[in-house]
């Protein structure tokens, strides 16, 4: 999933991880049916959204393990 801006990424993260909005932690894989997410799938979804937000904020060093310029 590609986000247009940091707000979209944060909105996704908040909704995806909200037990009230997504009580059974479901997601779609490749646009298919909604199904329960494995821990690994949840981690990957969270990581991807966080990495994109970091990129948009000019902070890719946070996940590339580089020192900031």
**Dist CA 16 CA 14 (whole Å):** 6
Domain assignment present for 69: no
**Dist CA 58 CA 28 (whole Å):** 29
Q: Is 66 a residue whose pLDDT tops 90?
A: no
Domain assignment present for 1: no
**Confidence at residue 1, expressed as pLDDT on a 0 to 100 scale:** 82
| Domain that includes residue 19, residue range | 6-64
Domain assignment present for 48: yes
As a whole number, mean pLDDT of residues 56-66 equals 90
Q: Count of domains in the chain?
A: 1
| Stated pTM of the model | 0.78
Output the six-digit token pair for 58: 């000019």
Domain assignment present for 25: yes
| Residues 5 and 49: beta-carbon distance below 8 Å | no
**Confidence at residue 67, expressed as pLDDT on a 0 to 100 scale:** 65
Q: pLDDT tens across 4-60, in order?
A: 999 999 999 999 899 899 888 888 777 778 888 888 888 998 999 999 999 999 999
**Dist CA 49 CA 51 (whole Å):** 6
| Nearest of 55, 45, 56 to residue 64 by alpha carbon | 55
């Amino acid at each position: 999933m590609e986000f247009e801006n940091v707000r979209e990424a944060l909105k996704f993260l908040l909704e995806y991880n909200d037990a009230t909005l997504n009580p059974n932690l479901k997601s779609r894989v490749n646009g298919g049916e909604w199904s329960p997410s494995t821990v690994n799938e949840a981690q990957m979804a969270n990581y991807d959204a966080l990495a994109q937000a970091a990129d948009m904020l000019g902070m890719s060093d946070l996940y590339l393990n580089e020192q900031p310029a």
